[in-house]
Amino acid sequence: MKQKTLAFISAPLVAALVLTGCSPANEQPSTAPQSTSSEAASSVDSVDSVDGASDQSTSTIASDEPEVMLGTANVAPTSDTTPELAELVIKDVRVGSHEGFDRVVFEFDGTGTPGYHAGYTDEPRQQASGMPLEVTGDAYLELMIHGTPMGMGDLESPLIQMGPMDLQAGNVQGVTHGGVFEADTQYVIGVDKQRPYSVTVLENPTRVVVDVEK
């Protein structure tokens, strides 16, 4: 597994950027992850732990997605725009509550490594249009994932459709898809308050993992 850990930006986000989680623990998750994928797991218990703990899910979860918080949690904006432009299409979005943190996973098919911008915003708005976005929660963690052309994938898939997604776990109260514009996909994660978070890119399969500290 190739793991890519985020680099945090200590200064506030530059207005021109369009932006659109705890100590490590090795216990089993307290809540099985919810998923929007239509692909059923190859077994009822799909592995989601480095120590072999099993967890029920509606999608296959890779064994290299450990039940420990990835990266270093911080409330500051973060970004990684170094990867070359990817051509990825969303395959699954899932959430889960673990010991010490909650996790949101965005899984992709396609080629390349995604870049991202992430940070809290006081007022979630759709990229490009500026229209308000409906997000469940009292604080809004905005995530822009780069390298996701709109023309790829099934345009009728519910994963492509804009708006709130039926996903909640722990302090993650909602996830809203803000749409795709110029190969950038916008998501806003609603939480109960601003909490330290981390963003990590994992491969095989390609995933952007957001961990939010409890």
Structural domain includes residue 52: no
Distance from C-alpha of 172 to C-alpha of 190, rounded to nearest angstrom:
6
Structural domain includes residue 51: no
CA-based R_g, the chain, Å: 16
Q: Which residue did the predictor score with more confidence, 58 or 178? A: 178
Structural domain includes residue 55: no
Structural domain includes residue 58: no
Which one-letter DSSP state was computed for residue 138?
Answer: S
Q: How many domains does the chain have?
A: 1
Residue 157 — pLDDT band, cuts 50, 70, 90? confident
Say yes or no to pLDDT of 4 above 90.
no
Structural domain includes residue 125: yes
- For the CA atoms of 159, 161, 166, 172, the dihedral, rounded to the nearest 10 degrees, stands at 80
Structural domain includes residue 155: yes
Structural domain includes residue 12: yes
Say yes or no to pLDDT of 2 above 60.
no
Structural domain includes residue 53: no
Q: Which domain holds residue 10?
A: 3-37+66-213
Q: Quick: pLDDT tens for 161-195.
A: 899 999 999 999 999 999 999 999 999 999 999 99
Q: Quick: pLDDT tens for 82-123.
A: 877 789 999 999 999 999 999 999 999 999 999 999 999 999
